[in-house]
Structure formats: structure tokens, C-alpha cells
Structure 1
Amino acid sequence: MNLDSLPIVAIATAPGRGGIGVVRISGKNLGNVAAEICALVPGKTLQPRHATYTRFVDADGSTIDQGLALYFKAPHSYTGEDVLELQGHGGPVVMQLLLARCLQAGSNIDLRLAQPGEFTQRAFLNDKLDLAQAEAVADLIDASTEAAARSASQSLSGVFSGIIRTLVEQVTNLRMLVEATLDFPEEEIDFLEKSDARGKLAVIRDTLQKVFRQSAQGALLRDGLNIVLAGQPNVGKSSLLNALAGADIAIVTPIAGTTRDKVTETIQIEGIPLNIIDTAGIRDVAEAIDEVERIGIERTWTAVAQADVIIHLLDACRGPTLADENIVARFPANIPVMRVWNKIDLSGHKPAIDRLVDATHIYLSATNQLGMELLREELLRLAGWQQTGESLYLARERHLVALAAAQTHLQLAAEHAALSDHALDLFAEELRLAQEQLSSITGAFTPDDLLGVIFSRFCIGK
């Protein structure tokens, strides 16, 4: 990602039509050197943090639009630089005209189009946000559930970063004590006993374990689960999708092979987004009606391989068949499987759940909504979701990796501290490595190439 300091501009609102559209400009000393930018709002003196109603004019003086101009003087802005926002009507043509005019007016100061996430990247580089807060901006925009939005807002406000910084400080202080002891071995003081190093380390590890648990729960709010419905034709996969979604998403008929391709619907259970993927019925390719069904079956197996959880639908009326067992044999060994026996309204079974050695078995009727709560509860259990009442942080995979690595280093530090000869040099080194892992979450030890990956996933204008 480009890391130059040239002024940048972009449309900051989502593509499409809307009542309001915003073009945002950010750069150093905009108010001092960009007289041409000010020509966009003729006859107006923009006061910092005051909205000014004005015309936005083209190079020939004709009006492009009318709206509000807001000027934020550095460092009191989102990016930490001078920022000018032009708020007009949200038509795509109007926004493009205004953007083109900004680029034309700012050509002498090398004003250029912003890259995805570049405004937020500058906020990070100018110490307006740390890296975890910057990522929370994108998570808040992308949140698909109310719970995810609230957790992202918590992270954006700095709660998650504050806890991480506290952990880093505690690890750093303990490391300083250890290294001071290494520098003065002649004191012959039993450092581990007199400074209660083991106790301090135990408190840090307990806190880190709690943060990891809360972060892992928060990651579920952000990413959700991909759940694939698989089974023979006409066992009720589409009916189950409709029952979970609460709407007629997929076509349901008594004719086998109705579903020819993947049908995906995102639902919420306890605020957790679940991507339910209905697939073509699985049978021997030689039995497929036509080429379309054969391709659908191949795509089913592709979806199965990428699933977080597989729901294997079976017909409770006819019981397990050889074809069902052949399907089970092809399921990946590392993906949890739930065996759901559908159509209990016809088979005479009662709604039930049995956790057996091979898999969890659930008996339900998708058509009559019998046993559906058992399925929802089991999906949450497989996801690892627990209603703890604790605040959750909308963590990303890299956060969880760093937290897990820090836990490993602190575990090794505890093992060195437990040795009879007190291997303090190894103890200190593991503390240093844990400190670096934790600091990487907020961006203190983050390489530029990782920054490029993180911010390139933002939307343009943010």
C-alpha cells in the first residue's frame, strides 16, 4: 500500500443513490497551501469545525451542487491531518462530478485518489487510533448483527486496546525485575521468592486467558459459521433452510433433485451470524438426471470441504441407508458433523437430541417446526458460544493468533520459573516474546506489509 504523504481525496459514502453524499479530502497544511481547493466554495471563509452552507462550483464558476462544507484543522480531525468534507446530494453522477472537480483543483498540490482504507491508515500513522481500533472501524462498518456492532464499537472506543496495553505493561514490569536480577547476580537474592514473580506471572496469565476467551467469543460475532446442509435428494434440506431462515428462501417440492446449486442465507442465533448453505442432493453421479445436476453434486462436495459445520440430513422414515453411509465416509475428518433426522412428523419419533460417539443426532421436523430449538442450541454449542455476560471484543484471526502465542510464551516462562536453578535468562526471554506478541495487536510491532494487507480490505473513503 502507498505510504506517501500526498493529499488524498475520495467519495466517503457508499456507492448508489442517497439523500447525502460526502467527498473527503485529507492532507497536511490544506488550509495554508490549497487556495484552489477553497475555490470550490467561492466567497466563503471556512471556520474549523463549523458547517458552512455553500455552492460547490466547477472551474468555470457553474454550480455543481449545494451543500455543507466542513473543515477540520490538524490535529483535530479523523486522520490527524487537515480534512475538508463536502456534503452534497448523494447521486452518483453528482458525487463523481464533485470528485473530479476536487482532483482538478488540487492538481498543483498532487492531490490524488485515496486507496481503500487510506484515511484510517493515516489516522493510525498519526496516532489517532491504534491498529486494533483501526480494524474496529472496518468491523463496525461490516457488522451483520447488533451484537457484532456493539462489540466493534467497544473495540473502537479503545476498551480492547486498553486491556492489551495493561497486559503489556504488566509483562514489561515483570521482565524489568527479572533482567535487573540478571544484571546483579552478586546480590544473591532469591528473586522469585522476594518479588513474588510467580504470583505476578500467574495473575497475568489468568487475565490473558480471560481476554482470549472474550476475544474468541467476539470473533464468532464477526465471522460467524459456515454451515452446509448435505444429504441425499429429497430429505428436506431446503425445508430446513427455510425453517431456520423463517422464510421461503429455497424451492421445496416432492421432486428429488430440485436444488441444483448452492443457496446461501445468513441467519442469527443469539446474535451469532450463521451462513446456512443449502446444496444439491448427493447421489451417485451416474444416477444424476443431467449435466446440471452432476455439476451441482460436485459443488456440494466443494462446499462440504469448506464448511465449519456439516449438517447431514437423513430421512427419519426410512432410517440409515447404504447411500447415507457412503456420504458420511466422504465427509472430512476434521469438520464437526451433526446427523439430523428429518420428517419425524411422519416417522412417529419425538423431538430429541442424542450425543453419540460418531456424531450428535437430532430428531426434528423442518416442515412442522418440531425440534428446531434443539438444532439451534446445538449449533451454538458447536460454535463454542457461551452466554457469559462479559463484554466481548470483536477480535480478528491475527488477534487470536497473537494472544495464543503470548499464552504459550507465558506458559514457558512459568516452566522456567519453576526450575530449581531458576533459569532467569530464559524466563526473561519468554517474557520479551510475550510482550512483542501482545504489542503487535495494537500495532507497536507490526511490519509495513501487514499494514498494507489490513487497510487494503477497508472500503474506499474510509
Structure 2
Amino acid sequence: MSAPTRTIAARATPPGVGGIGVVRVSGPESLRISHELTGRQLKPREATSTAFHGRDGRALDYGIAILFKAPASYTGEDVLELHCHGGPVIIDSVLAELSYLGVDFARPGEFTERAFLNGKMDLAQAEAVADVINSQTEVAARCALRSLSGNFSKYIESISKNIDSFRVIIEANIDFSEDPVEEIEHSVIKKKIKELKGIINDLIDRSKPGELLSTGAEVVLIGAPNAGKSSLLNTLARAERAIVTSTPGTTRDLLDATISLEGLAIRLIDTAGLRQSEDEIEAEGMRRAIAATERADLVVEVRDDTQNDPSGLEILGHDLGDQNRIVVLNKCDLSGRTFGTAEEADGAPAVAISATTRQGIDALEKVLLQQLGYQGVGEDTIMARRRHIDAMQRANSHLDQAMIQFESTDLLAEEFRLAQRALGEITGEVTVEDLLGDIFSNFCIGK
């Protein structure tokens, strides 16, 4: 993959009004651009207070310019940072001048993509940059920072080197021996494969909580009108996010609030009460409610425990099938049911609560985390993505195949090579253009 030749620029701070707005420039023309804008020869890595001049000589702004010479920069290229006043008019005028000087506007994630291409970080670290930026909880941020520091990559590289060293021995047997691997060596190979699989499985187990941390979870509250969905949303969010009245059908559209449970960001979605209705707006709200359940990580069916009426889902004849769900029996302060975990309801875990008195809420929060498969994080938790876990599982599959290929040293060595290749996809040692495009297109512009 050839090194980029375009010089790019983008705002590196969020849009809107602020005290400071940073514009980042990267590429072979950064040095020329710095001279054109400031009329000065900037010293590398030294903050210089200066005016930024337009093409007609007028001052666009007064701020600070910092030049980073390659390779000692974020991207590994010559980089110029312009620290301006944070008004959108100022930033736009500076970006317009950069465009006039021949600089291209950066694609989302292009700065970090260049950092990867120039060897400043591997692919797992590049993804961790986005995870740090998008962290919704302190726990998620800490895990992402560990991956950014190279913690995860070191584990992958260690396993890969371990596989490689053993593959070299196997291939030496191919090159210098007429005979297949001797029977006595089978036990050695089996032991090594089991050892490697154990290390990878341990890493997968440590990565699964991190995968959930990086994406967060979506939990949808459904049920009949006045079952207490909106009250439950407000109680879990510890804020008055939804209007609560005794009038059925108050909620007609999707309302949401994000909460943090043991460091996991959970987006709660309140929905319209499910019932038969001729009201077109209410019916649309119910259609949206059902649609929301289809993409949810967990569905919470809220029932009024003081009533023996059929649930909203039964009324509409909708079956959640094998959807991950729990049943919340609400208003137990009125029904007299014991608070906390209860017997299963329709095959789903059940919790008895009162959304108004908060009784049973602690038990509900524990069940929510259990059903989401989240067991908390430790200092050894890896901030991973689904593609990382898939790659590790594929590596293990190739090791499984290697376990049965003793009669063919060629096939045995090939399975080791494929396992190593799968792990190489995590750090970017093995990459394809489409994968890079998918990863970096989800970054913010300017990073």
C-alpha cells in the first residue's frame, strides 16, 4: 500500500463555539503551508504565537502554530496544528484558506489511518483511538486506553510468534526429512496446540466484556399502557426523562436515556403502550415499539402486577420468539408480592419491583447485567471488537484442524500459517482495503 501524497486538513475539535478551535494539517506540504499562513519559519515542536494570514495579507486570526516534523508526529508525516479562536466563522475561514493553498479536506479517520499506514500504531491501537473518543463511561475509557497503549496487541503478537516458532520446526521437517512426523512427536504437537488454544480462549474470555463495553447495550421497555414503563425509565435513569400520567397512551414515540451500570453504557428505550387502537398516531407508535424490540440486545416486558389482564404482546398477537428478554412485575408495593427475583414468567427471568418506591430496582439491575452477559471488568479486561473475537475464534478453528493433520506435515504447517494469519488481521499485519475503509469511515473527521 503506497504512502499518501495528499496534504489534508480538518478541524480537530468539535464544531460549534468554544474558547479554542484546532485545525490539523498533515502531509508533504505542511511545511510550505506553515510558511504561507504565518510568514515565519516555525521551529519543530515549539508553540509559536502568530497571526494566520489570508491570500490578501489580512489576518484571518491570531493564535498558536505548532509544527511536528516527520516521523515524530501523530501521523508520521509533517503535521501542522493551528490553534485558533473557537468560533465557526474563524475556523471556516482558515479551512477555506488551506483549501486555496491546495490542501484537501480529510476523510473521516484519515489522520489515524495515515498513522497506521506509517507504522505509528497497529490496527488494534487505531481502533482503540475511536474507542477512547466514543467511551461513554470511565470504565470503558480505561479499557480503551489500555488497548491504545498496545496492551492487547502485545498479547496477539506473543501468540503469533509462538505459533510461528512452532511452524518453523514443522516446516523444517518438510524441508529436511523424507519421513512424516514420528509418533513420539504427536504428543508434543498436541500439547503445544492445546497450550495455544488455552491462551487464545483465555484472551477471548477477557475480550467479551470489552466488546460489550465498546458498543454499549440497547434495552427496550415494552408493555401495556400504564404498566409503568415510563416510570421505570425515569427510575433507572434517575431523571424525569418521560412524562408520567394516569392517562393511558401518554407515550407515543420512542424516548431514550443512557445509564451506566458497573461501567456498561446502556441505552434504555421507552415505547408506546401496546393495545388495540384505531388512533393512527398511537398505532404508528406501537409499530415503532415492535420494530425497536427486533434490534434490541434485551427486551424488558413491564407488567402491572395489580392486574390480571393479558400483556400488550398477547393483545397484539406478537411473539418475541427466542429474543433475549426479562419480565418486570411492577407495582408490587400495591400487589403485595415480595420484591426481588421471582419465578420465571412465560419462560423468561422475572423481577418484582416498584418503579415509584425503587424497591426491587437493585435486583433488576443485576438481572439486566446477567441477561446482557456482562460480568464486570478487571484490570486484565481487553477492549475488543467483534472482528477481533471472530479472528481469534478462526485461529482456534485452524488449530483444531491442525490437531488432526499429523499424517501430512504440509497440511499441518498450513493450518498453523492460517491461524497466524487470522491473528495478523487483528493488528493489521494482514489487511485488505475494504477492512480499512470500514474501520476508518466510522471515525470522526479530524482524527
- Identify the residue that residue 71 of structure 1 maps to in structure 2: 67
**2:221 equivalent among 215, 229, 234:** 229
Amino acid aligned to 2:441: S
Relative to 1, partners in 2 of residues 1:235 and 1:6: Cα closer, same or farther, differing over 3 Å? same
Matches within 5 A, 1:29-428: 30-31=30-31, 34=32, 37-42=34-39, 44-104=40-100, 106-107=101-102, 111-186=103-178, 190=182, 193=185, 196-284=188-276, 287-288=277-278, 290-319=279-308, 321-324=309-312, 326=314, 330-354=318-342, 356=344, 358-387=347-376, 389-416=378-405, 422-428=407-413
Cα distance, 1:66 vs structure 2: 1.1
CA gap of 1:456–1:191, structure 2 versus 1, over 3 A, is: farther
How many angstroms apart in 2 are the aligned matches of 1:28 and 1:392?
Answer: 39
Determine if the alignment matches structure 1 residue 430 to structure 2 residue 427.
no
Contact 1:192 1:198 in 2 (8 A): no
Q: Is 1:456 the equivalent of 2:441? A: yes
Segment of structure 1 superposing worse, 326-335 or 342-351: 326-335
- Indicate conservation of the 8 Å contact 2:3/2:117, yes or no: no
Q: Give unpaired runs (5+ residues) of structure 1.
A: none
Structure 2 partner of 1:13: 13
- Rounded Cα–Cα distance in structure 2 between residues aligned with 1:168 and 1:445: 12
Residues 80-102 of structure 1 deviation map (CA, whole Å, 9 limit, x = unaligned): 11111111111111011111112
Question: If the length of structure 2 is used for normalisation, what is the TM-score?
Answer: 0.95
User: Post-superposition shift, 1:2?
Assistant: 11
Structure 1 192/48 Cα, relative in aligned 2: closer, same or farther at 3 Å? Answer: farther
Structure-2 separation of matches of 1:334 and 1:244: 25
Assess if the C-alpha contact under 8 Å between 2:4 and 2:114 holds in 1: no
Take 1:2 and 1:303, find their aligned partners in 2: how far apart are those partners? 44
> 1:112-147: per-residue Cα shift (whole Å, max 9, x none)?
111111111111111111111111111111111111
Percent identity, aligned pairs only, is 44
Alignment partners' CA distance in 1, 2:251 and 2:337? 27
Question: 3-state SS of the aligned residue for 2:380?
Answer: coil
For the Cα contact (< 8 Å) 1:28–1:82, is it kept in 2? yes
SS of aligned partner of 1:201:
helix
Shift of 1:325: 6.3
Cα–Cα, structure 1 residues 69 and 384, in superposed 2: closer, same or farther, change >3 Å?
same
Cα 1:67/1:346, change in 2 over 3 Å: same
Residue 346 of structure 1 aligns to which amino acid in structure 2? L
Residue range with higher mean Cα deviation, 351-360 or 436-445: 351-360
User: Structure 1 stretches (4+) deviating beyond 6 angstroms?
Assistant: none
Contact 2:325 2:371 in 1 (8 A): no
Q: CA RMSD in A?
A: 2.1
- 2:331–2:353 Cα contact (<8 Å) kept: yes
Query: For the residues of structure 1 that align with 2:2 and 2:71, how far apart are their CA atoms?
Result: 22
How far off its partner does 1:423 sit?
Answer: 4.2
> What secondary structure, in the 3-state scheme, does the structure 1 residue paired with 2:74 have?
coil
Alpha-carbon shift at residue 334 of structure 1 (Å): 3.1
Listed as ranges, the gaps of 5+ residues in structure 2 are none
Report how far residue 385 of structure 1 moved.
Answer: 1.5
Contact 2:220 2:270 in 1 (8 A): yes
The answer as to 2:412 corresponding to 1:440 is: no
Q: CA deviation at 1:24?
A: 1.1
Q: CA deviation at 1:240?
A: 0.5
Residue 19 of structure 2 aligns to a residue whose secondary structure is strand
The equivalent of 1:28 in structure 2 is: 28
1:401-459 deviation per Cα after TM superposition (whole angstroms, max 9, x unaligned):
11221222222323445xxxx44333322222211111001111111121112111111
2: distance between equivalents of 1:358 and 1:196? 47
For residues 337-360 of structure 1, the C-alpha deviation after alignment (integer angstroms, 9 at most, x for no partner) is: 101100001001111313537110
Q: Distance in 1 between matches of 2:416 and 2:274?
A: 52
> In the alignment, residue 69 of structure 1 is paired with which amino acid?
A
> SS state of the match for residue 282, structure 1?
coil
Answer yes or no: is the 8 Å Cα contact 1:191–1:197 preserved in 2. no
> Matched residues in 2 for 1:403 and 1:96: separation?
45
Q: Would the alpha carbon gap of residues 189 and 135 (structure 1) be closer, same or farther in structure 2, given more than 3 Å must change?
A: closer
Deviations 1:53-106 (A, max 9, x none): 1111112222111111101111111111111111111111101111111222x2
State the TM-score, normalizing by the size of structure 1: 0.92
Shift of residue 181 of structure 1? 2.0
Shift of 1:197: 2.2
Question: Are the aligned partners of 2:275 and 2:316 in contact in 1 as well (CA < 8 Å)?
Answer: no
Alpha-carbon distance between aligned partners in 1 of 2:316 and 2:235, rounded to the nearest angstrom = 24
CA deviation after TM superposition for structure 1 residue 30, in Å? 3.7
Aligned AA for 1:67? G
Q: Tell me the CA shift for residue 273 of structure 1.
A: 0.7
Structure 2: distance between partners of 1:404 and 1:238: 41
